[in-house]
Structure 1
Amino acid sequence: MSNPFPISDDEVIDVAPPKRTRWRRWVIAAAVLLFVVLSRSLSIYVSVLWFGSLGYSAVYWYVFKLKAGLFLIFLLLTIGILRGAFLILERTFASDAFAPRTIMLNDQPVEFSPARFIRPLAWVVSVMFGLFYGIAMKGNWQDFALYFNQSTTTQADPIFQKPLGFYLFSLPIYDEISSWLLTLTFIVLCASLFFFLLTAPQRVLKSARSLSSGSAFAAISSALVAFLLAVSWQTYLSRFPYLWTDHQTFSGVTYTEANYLLPALLFVSFALILGAALSLVNAFTKKGLRLLLLALAIPIAVYIVGVVIVPTYVNSFIVKPNELGRETPYIEHNINWTRRAFGLEQIELREFEAENSVEALNLSANRATLENIRLWDWHALQDTLKQIQTIRTYYDFPDVDVDRYSFAGQTRQVMLAAREIDVEKLPESSRNWINEKLIYTHGYGLTMNTANEFTPEGMPRFLVSNMPIETRTQGITITRPQIYFGQKTDTDVYVNTAQKEFDFPQGEANTYTTYEGTGGIKIGGRLRRMLLAWALNDLSKLPFSDDVTSESRVLIRRSIKEIVNGVAPFLIYDNDPYMVVSKEGRLFWLLDAFTESSRFPYSRHHAVGGNRINYIRNSVKVVIDAYNGSVAFYVFDAQDPLMATYRATFPTLFQDASAMPPDLRSHVRYPETLIRVQGEVYGVYHTQNPKIFFQREDVWSVANQLGRDGQDKNQSQPIDPYYVLMQLPGEQVSSEFVLILPFTPASRNNMIGWMAGRSDGDNYGKLLVYNFPQSRLIEGPLQIEARIDQNAELSAQFSLWNQQGSRVLRGHLLVVPIGRSLLYVEPVYLQAVRSPMPELRLVVLAIQERVGYGKSFDEAMTHLFGEAGKTPSQPVSGPPKDDVDETAMKPAPSPPSGENIQQLITKAVQEFEDYQRLTSQGKLAEAGQKLEQHKRTLEELKRVGGKQ
């Protein structure tokens, strides 16, 4: 019988895939590509609308065109260079490289054509690197923008005599292009070696001589020429970063580098050019391997001798024995240029006696300072506000800021906190699209309290509080309390819809409002609505909502950081935006912006916000409208070369400082971020004597204090800079807003000086440093903390307060210069463990070895200085005089009562339990009264116990 299946099992039929399957793959690939293109186009469309709503369309289109141009230029150049080089190599080695080969696979000969793999691989490599460098160079658009628009700088470095702009604007671009060319030439050189090795067997079969001669070595020689020239250029550029290299003692070029290493690198660069010339000769003469080896050997030999051996010998046997003498000119460069880079060259130095008498305080002449000493720590105040002013669980106070305002002609230091909404804290039953997107859209108002006053219950004395807004002083009104743009506004919302927006709670009912501003993007017609829904991932709700009309607006990118980083990502922003109330009663956010660089010659690097920088300027103040989201950038340092270049790049973005409204200008302040880094730098670079600098004989550090709540209380922490409204010693102005940073000698605790950053009027941005006398010891914060700890009465009081469910929180110690003396101020808070609501209960003052305390600032002054410490008029802080219990916290005991100790203990325990119960019930006023009774009982107990 014949076999119905004539094909044997060993035979395989090659069946081509159906054409339908191939078309399906192409359709899927096209659909994915189309989706990506449309998504990216939608993102661009929304960005265009957003920038247009802010009035900065020109900024967006400049950046967009620059990015697109860089991407296309480097994409096409990379593909063209690599693919062109591969094509030349293919033609050079074509006869041997692409000849069919027979290889053995499973003991069977198989015909193999390298061309089927090499040509597609060349395209893949070319396109892959083209995309990589297109994307990379697009990401470096800021460097190219600075290069194309760089401002003129005349100041030259002391080593290469090149202008400052070369390092800030040109060198970054040269480095990027050098790295790009080095990579491309290295790829081409590797490809030529690959082709050479691939064709070696065929050339050996043809002729033994052909292995090392002819076009093969010409191709390798040509590739080596390009590579050596790229290395030569990069070697030449590698000399300049030595200007900002940090060494153990100082930064910048050293004696060895200036006289031996840098010239050697220049010789290496010339040797590489010579090697390239030899390789080029070899490409035409086809001498073979000898010239190529010589082309490599010369620069390697120069490098080993000039860059490794000679500098090592000079540094070890010439510099080290007389290091200070050799390095003195270079240390001077480092000192001068570092001070210039961090804005320290214009510091004004003054002497400060730091006497310890009440006469030195000159209380009558410094009343403005005494009236504004800050007793509220912002951490403690924030915890208290969250308990008594959030009103509803979905409100929050992200931060508390310090500022100054004028009331009836008198300037007072105040503390402000914006009440923002956090939709994440809405009850779970209320978490739906309508509530989160249409109703709960904004925060409401702020709190403002004096920095130095508190109620009999230890609560802040508010000037502005509650919902609706209540003001308790003349000179401030709030007409637009709604906060649509802030620190917690992380979600998109729709406003001016058919739904009324929740404004604030009022009793059992709620008050609603409708957005009347011009912020955000108008919804418009159906097409724009669909595009916005897709771009905002809201396709399931927005297109079908009857509440959102064509006149509605969508507010996107509402976070302060998102706004400023979206408009001007090339600036570095402070982490502490602060709210300001304008004269018209509108709310604005003020934010400091900086220009930074890590390429400033002869300047030492320091860490700022996660970046290692050696140049910084606070060149810009940013103002954001909390209602409309409009943003304005005001230039406060027109001399900054980076800022001048950014202004030339974006002429419509920046305005002069004089254009800032005066009512906002009066609230600009010296930024904490800036004075922190300036203080760190000044601690080392305050001395301009190279010998003292080199030997580290006079290094300062920021003064330390003990850790506070949430920190390790046994571990010292650097004092944060703090704002003070005070009369500066030696100034005629009664009071001004300054930022203070105290110093101690390194590894010691006594004070050596303090720095003041000025904020008001024409003095804005000026730095003062007050030096203490070297002839006597001025106690520092840690030493004052120790004196407070050693005070028997305070220690006993703290121990009693730390019992049975309450704890003592000691605030940050402030060092306040007054007259010719230093006054140390530390507030003390009492907080129930169950309720994180600190109450300000005690003020501790110190002046060198003397410590005083009281329930108010005036009482503490009297305790510290006696009758001489009484201020010349009304009390400057604490509860009103008629509310103060005269028997509490007196330094002299009163006669004991007739109650015995056991009765007093029982009474004290009962009073404390009542205090805890009232606190947990939220009856703060009654709890405060009960705590006062409890303290009097404890005092009585202490006196009776002493008598018996």
Structure 2
Amino acid sequence: MKFKVYHNEDFKPKLNLNKKKTFWTGVVVLLIILFIVSDLGIALVSEYIWMDSLGFSDVFVTIFSARILLFAVGFLLFSCTLFLTLLGIRRAYVRNFQPDELPFVFRHSKLFFLSSWGLSFLYGLIGSSIVQGLGWERFLTYQHQVPFQVSDPVFGHDVAFYVYTLPFWNFVVSSLLGLIVVILIIQGSAYGISKLYWTDWGARVQLMLSVLLFGVVLGAKHFLGRYDTLLSDTINGFQQKSVVYGVSYTDAVINIPLAYVLAALPIISALAVIAGLSRRNWRLLVAGPALYVIVLLFGQLAAWGVQQFMVTPNEFHREEPYLEHNLIFTRQAYGLDNINQQVHPGTGTISGDLVERNSLTLDNVRINDARPLLDVYNQIQSFRTYYQFNDVDVDRYMIDGEYQQVFIGARELNTDQLPSQAQTWVNRTLRYTHGYGIAASHVNEVTPQGQPEFLVKNLPPEGSPEITRPQIYFGEQVYPHVIINTKVDEFNYPEGESNVTYRYTADTGIPMTRLNRFIYAWEEGSPRIFISGLINQESQLLRKRNIMERLNAIAPFLTYDQDPYIVVRDDGTLIWIVDAYTTTRQYPYAEPVGAGFNYIRNPIKAVVDAYTGEVHFYVVDPDDPLWQTYANIFPDLFTEEIPEDIQAHFRYPVNMFTYQAEIFRTYHMSDLEVFYNREDMWAFPTEKYYDQDIIMEPYYITMQLPDEEREEFILMQPFTPNNRQNMIAWLAARNDGENYGELLLYRFPKQRTVYGPQQIENRINQDPYISQQLNLWSQGGSRTIRGNLLVIPIEDTLLYVEPVYIESDSRSSLPEVGKIIVAYQDYIVMEDTFAEAIERLVEMEAGAVRPDGAQPGQDEQTPLIVTAESLVEQLADLFESYRNAMAAGQWEQAGRMMTEIEKQLADWKRQQGGGETGSDEAAETDDEEAESATGQETEVE
């Protein structure tokens, strides 16, 4: 077949274009492009200047270079592929159609090239943005990866293959697959509508090449997909769940062999399609894809059948080796494979000698609760509406030579709270630039009014630890940028009716040269930065003052804890410490937690100076392979030499500990059959806060661990059995010195009951004296707050401590510590101070006083006169608890409830009779009546 070739002279369509309009349109488009490019350029330059001022320009250059490289590769790949595709389509059309039959854009070569390059440029930008945005970290970690020295039991690859290599190649294959699918859609539409794939050899070649590439890339995706079986708990496309996270029996028998078949089938199918296009054979054209789909569906059905009919009837024995892999690798991924486990008897008795031996532990028992304490700090120590405490944290300090646990909070500046008339650019940018000082209080002391006993307070700060540089320019607030050392003096702190001013003394900001003023005026959209006469050559710009924003901008590849805490260094300066994590969801066989990852470490402590904004990334876990990989990429970013006064305040992070404890609830089981049946699942205990039962969170305490010589800072989490309230174990993380990061587990003997936190809460509710007092305090416009219930292990015994706050119902209420409840074994006392409560418990254990407060030998009279109305309320509550326990099958709990009911009735009778029961006969009568009542209640049940 011959086609007539038309030259431009043979056909010149008339274009009715308004040249003037076109010119101005072009100018507008050019200006928009220049503005966008300039804006991007300014943003990059401003970021580089800022990073360079902090000493991290090499980090910026490394990331930017990787982005530029991937951007260039992605742009060329996506744009050139699309342009060549469009060019090939036009040539095929020109060869086979008359000029007047061509689409409009194909008739004029200049218009075609202009529009094609425009579309290709746009497509290249989209593709390259995706490639550089998602791929730069995978590219760099793939290049600089460090092995984990742990191999998976199925394919024998080091874990680094799954963490670094597999994500990178999956990203490459997915990008190519997306590109080829778009090209195939364009080619299929262009050649399908015109039917050129039957008549034009060039069109067929293009389609054949695209189909072959699609088959090869799809096959590569299936080939890599076999590794996904180590990173999932589903066994087929129907999302059928397996009892194992990672490779299961069905994966080993069906899915992995199927992946090899599916890797070859797309290539075979592509060849069949190519043959069908060459021979114009519909059967070959359809046969290849149909075979691929049939095998894919058959594989899914086969996996479903094996799971249903071979695995499920004998699941444990089929999955036993894979359950072991899941157990081992999950423990490794969360750092739970080297926990030091011991037995804690929980049977020790409290005595004066025990109290004396553990005086430092008892002196650091936290009787204040950080949640209501934050309100107290903001009301007592903020002084002005524009000051704000965002958080109150727990830390420890050497104060007057003693190791003391303290609460500490930073007094930050919130310019949004300035009066409306003061919300000017000068005030927000030049004058109100920083917060001021901290407040700190004892965890274990309160004033006679129930307020915290402050260690550091007031403006300027008074007390110990001494603060020499209280200005806080960088913190947790959403701070705007500020410019310091201008012709306007900065507000420092209020003093009476006037204000004290200040001048910034460091040299860590961005110098306000004329060029820098222009750059940051553009970036901030604030011309005042450039034109203001209040800014001079000595001025500095402080940028990204929110510490989380600052850290994420410097090292975005780390995951940061959302609870920074302020620290006073030995020289009196203030710093922020933020825990930085390395995480991945690519650890084979490891069960993920709710956050989506299945591996976590805390190798880095990020430290930000609250005054200068200087940032240091201190290494605390150099054995972490993920950190080692980032250290290869950014060799100058991390610091391994840690100042002692900073290291002394490192805390094991609560968030990471919570993730570990969540996993350990299940993965503490070592027996595979017990693990499979989840027979020994643990739970987090509950506690009462206000009037609600909430999940108990990990908490810091100071205590002396068994076999240790001194007290240390501990993070601990109690556990209870699943669906039961007695305590079965507690997990601890050590925080001090060389022992930092060590995990300890103390199990309680299973043959005896150790009270759990909720059981203590219930006993508090059931105590006639305490419950009545709590009810009385909750009346008349007041309410009670039950603070943290802390379990305090002391040698072989356990104490339970709970502060009781009293506050009014008014909006400006000030919570006050009213009483301290302390429980020990079967004793519960409520006193004004913790020391009085401990003294009372020691006397009760020694027999010096009875639990009801009477001296031995005195008439057994209840010191509290119980009214009939209160007795009815107490009995109603106890009987409701009894009914609930009976309904839940908790016979032991129900028995205790009934015993308490009998005790209340007996106490009432003694009160009504005025003294002792009087005779054995009267006591027997009481017992018979109680038994009769019990029998009747049981019959009702």
TM-score interval for Structure 1 and Structure 2 normalised by the shorter chain = 0.7 to 0.9
| Local SS of the residue matching 1:668 | coil
Of 666, 683, 698, the residue aligned with 1:721 is 698
Of 175, 182, 187, the residue aligned with 1:187 is 182
Contact 2:700 / 2:714 at 8 angstroms: preserved in 1? yes
Distance in 1 between residues matched to 2:431 and 2:37, nearest whole Å: 34
Single out whichever of 453-462 and 526-535 deviates more from structure 2: 526-535
Contact 1:593 / 1:619 at 8 angstroms: preserved in 2? yes
Q: Which runs of 5+ in 2 are unaligned?
A: 1-13, 234-240, 849-859, 866-910, 916-941
Structure 1 residue 120, shift from structure 2 partner: 6.7
The one-letter code sitting in structure 2 at the alignment partner of 1:643 is W
**Is 1:196 matched up with 2:191?**
yes
Structure 1 residue 827, shift from structure 2 partner: 0.3
Contact 2:349 / 2:845 at 8 angstroms: preserved in 1? no
Single out whichever of 780-789 and 505-514 deviates more from structure 2: 505-514
Structure 1 residue 947, shift from structure 2 partner: 10
**Is 1:133 matched up with 2:127?**
yes
Q: Which runs of 5+ in 1 are unaligned?
A: 1-13, 104-109, 204-209, 872-890, 897-943
Structure 1 residue 356, shift from structure 2 partner: 5.9
Contact 2:131 / 2:175 at 8 angstroms: preserved in 1? no
Alignment-derived partner of residue 294 in structure 1: 287
Question: Kindly tell me: are residues 196 and 867 of structure 1, through their superposed partners in 2, closer, same or farther at Cα, counting changes over 3 Å?
Answer: closer
Question: Kindly tell me: are residues 862 and 192 of structure 1, through their superposed partners in 2, closer, same or farther at Cα, counting changes over 3 Å?
Answer: same
Contact 1:505 / 1:511 at 8 angstroms: preserved in 2? yes
TM-score normalised by L of structure 2: 0.85
Distance in 1 between residues matched to 2:702 and 2:52, nearest whole Å: 41
Root-mean-square deviation over aligned CA pairs? 2.8
Q: Output aligned runs, 1:352-431, within 5 Å.
A: 352-355=344-347, 357-359=349-351, 362-431=354-423
Contact 2:434 / 2:471 at 8 angstroms: preserved in 1? yes
Distance in 2 between residues matched to 1:322 and 1:165, nearest whole Å: 34
**Is 1:86 matched up with 2:63?**
no
| Local SS of the residue matching 1:777 | coil
Distance in 1 between residues matched to 2:306 and 2:359, nearest whole Å: 63
**Is 1:228 matched up with 2:215?**
yes
Contact 1:212 / 1:289 at 8 angstroms: preserved in 2? no
Single out whichever of 417-426 and 546-555 deviates more from structure 2: 546-555
Alignment-derived partner of residue 651 in structure 1: 635
Question: Kindly tell me: are residues 274 and 799 of structure 1, through their superposed partners in 2, closer, same or farther at Cα, counting changes over 3 Å?
Answer: same
Alignment-derived partner of residue 28 in structure 1: 28
Q: Output aligned runs, 1:427-438, within 5 Å.
A: 427-438=419-430
Question: Kindly tell me: are residues 123 and 294 of structure 1, through their superposed partners in 2, closer, same or farther at Cα, counting changes over 3 Å?
Answer: farther
Alignment-derived partner of residue 736 in structure 2: 760
Contact 2:477 / 2:546 at 8 angstroms: preserved in 1? yes
Distance in 1 between residues matched to 2:251 and 2:190, nearest whole Å: 42
Contact 2:273 / 2:286 at 8 angstroms: preserved in 1? no
Question: Kindly tell me: are residues 15 and 358 of structure 1, through their superposed partners in 2, closer, same or farther at Cα, counting changes over 3 Å?
Answer: closer
Structure 1 residue 303, shift from structure 2 partner: 2.3
Contact 1:153 / 1:641 at 8 angstroms: preserved in 2? yes
Distance in 2 between residues matched to 1:180 and 1:509, nearest whole Å: 64
Contact 2:685 / 2:720 at 8 angstroms: preserved in 1? yes
Distance in 1 between residues matched to 2:808 and 2:382, nearest whole Å: 19
Question: Kindly tell me: are residues 432 and 254 of structure 1, through their superposed partners in 2, closer, same or farther at Cα, counting changes over 3 Å?
Answer: same
Alignment-derived partner of residue 919 in structure 1: none
Contact 1:438 / 1:495 at 8 angstroms: preserved in 2? yes
**Is 1:858 matched up with 2:835?**
yes
Structure 1 residue 836, shift from structure 2 partner: 2.4
Contact 2:90 / 2:106 at 8 angstroms: preserved in 1? no
Question: Kindly tell me: are residues 470 and 279 of structure 1, through their superposed partners in 2, closer, same or farther at Cα, counting changes over 3 Å?
Answer: same
Question: Kindly tell me: are residues 489 and 466 of structure 1, through their superposed partners in 2, closer, same or farther at Cα, counting changes over 3 Å?
Answer: farther
Contact 1:634 / 1:660 at 8 angstroms: preserved in 2? yes
Question: Kindly tell me: are residues 15 and 280 of structure 1, through their superposed partners in 2, closer, same or farther at Cα, counting changes over 3 Å?
Answer: closer
Alignment-derived partner of residue 263 in structure 1: 257
Question: Kindly tell me: are residues 336 and 443 of structure 1, through their superposed partners in 2, closer, same or farther at Cα, counting changes over 3 Å?
Answer: same
Distance in 2 between residues matched to 1:451 and 1:57, nearest whole Å: 43
Alignment-derived partner of residue 59 in structure 1: 59
Question: Kindly tell me: are residues 536 and 290 of structure 1, through their superposed partners in 2, closer, same or farther at Cα, counting changes over 3 Å?
Answer: same
TM-score normalised by L of structure 1: 0.84
Single out whichever of 139-148 and 151-160 deviates more from structure 2: 151-160
| Local SS of the residue matching 2:835 | helix
Deviations 1:505-533 (A, max 9, x none): 12222211110012221102x33322222
Question: Kindly tell me: are residues 805 and 271 of structure 1, through their superposed partners in 2, closer, same or farther at Cα, counting changes over 3 Å?
Answer: same
Question: Kindly tell me: are residues 507 and 545 of structure 1, through their superposed partners in 2, closer, same or farther at Cα, counting changes over 3 Å?
Answer: same
Question: Kindly tell me: are residues 598 and 102 of structure 1, through their superposed partners in 2, closer, same or farther at Cα, counting changes over 3 Å?
Answer: closer
Distance in 1 between residues matched to 2:700 and 2:105, nearest whole Å: 82
Contact 2:800 / 2:823 at 8 angstroms: preserved in 1? yes
Deviations 1:282-305 (A, max 9, x none): 67x646334333332333333233
Deviations 1:318-338 (A, max 9, x none): 112211001000000000000
Q: Output aligned runs, 1:685-764, within 5 Å.
A: 685-706=667-688, 708-709=689-690, 713-714=691-692, 716-732=693-709, 734-764=710-740
The one-letter code sitting in structure 2 at the alignment partner of 1:296 is P
Distance in 2 between residues matched to 1:111 and 1:521, nearest whole Å: 53
Question: Kindly tell me: are residues 497 and 219 of structure 1, through their superposed partners in 2, closer, same or farther at Cα, counting changes over 3 Å?
Answer: closer
Distance in 2 between residues matched to 1:174 and 1:433, nearest whole Å: 51
Question: Kindly tell me: are residues 212 and 536 of structure 1, through their superposed partners in 2, closer, same or farther at Cα, counting changes over 3 Å?
Answer: closer
Alignment-derived partner of residue 934 in structure 1: none
Single out whichever of 817-826 and 77-86 deviates more from structure 2: 77-86
Alignment-derived partner of residue 507 in structure 1: 496
Distance in 2 between residues matched to 1:195 and 1:119, nearest whole Å: 17
Distance in 2 between residues matched to 1:423 and 1:730, nearest whole Å: 52
Q: Output aligned runs, 1:268-287, within 5 Å.
A: 268-279=262-273, 286=279
Alignment-derived partner of residue 833 in structure 1: 809
**Is 1:530 matched up with 2:530?**
no
The one-letter code sitting in structure 2 at the alignment partner of 1:723 is Y
Contact 2:715 / 2:732 at 8 angstroms: preserved in 1? yes
Of 173, 177, 202, the residue aligned with 1:178 is 173
| Local SS of the residue matching 1:364 | helix
Of 654, 661, 665, the residue aligned with 2:643 is 661
Deviations 1:151-205 (A, max 9, x none): 23432111111111111111111111111111222223223322332323xx7xx
Contact 1:361 / 1:820 at 8 angstroms: preserved in 2? no
Alignment-derived partner of residue 314 in structure 2: 322
Structure 1 residue 701, shift from structure 2 partner: 1.5
Structure 1 residue 482, shift from structure 2 partner: 0.4
Deviations 1:656-712 (A, max 9, x none): 1xx111011101011001110000000000012211111110001121223x24xxx
Question: Kindly tell me: are residues 238 and 112 of structure 1, through their superposed partners in 2, closer, same or farther at Cα, counting changes over 3 Å?
Answer: closer
Single out whichever of 478-487 and 45-54 deviates more from structure 2: 45-54
Alignment-derived partner of residue 923 in structure 1: none
Distance in 1 between residues matched to 2:659 and 2:332, nearest whole Å: 13
Structure 1 residue 460, shift from structure 2 partner: 1.0
Question: Kindly tell me: are residues 59 and 361 of structure 1, through their superposed partners in 2, closer, same or farther at Cα, counting changes over 3 Å?
Answer: farther
The one-letter code sitting in structure 2 at the alignment partner of 1:616 is I
Alignment-derived partner of residue 751 in structure 2: 775
Of 798, 803, 809, the residue aligned with 2:774 is 798
Question: Kindly tell me: are residues 868 and 324 of structure 1, through their superposed partners in 2, closer, same or farther at Cα, counting changes over 3 Å?
Answer: closer
Deviations 1:61-118 (A, max 9, x none): 1111211221121011111122223333443454236753399xxxxxx999699998
Contact 1:92 / 1:219 at 8 angstroms: preserved in 2? no
Question: Kindly tell me: are residues 552 and 810 of structure 1, through their superposed partners in 2, closer, same or farther at Cα, counting changes over 3 Å?
Answer: same
Question: Kindly tell me: are residues 893 and 425 of structure 1, through their superposed partners in 2, closer, same or farther at Cα, counting changes over 3 Å?
Answer: farther
Deviations 1:818-868 (A, max 9, x none): 111111110011112223211111100112332111000011123334266
Contact 1:361 / 1:819 at 8 angstroms: preserved in 2? no
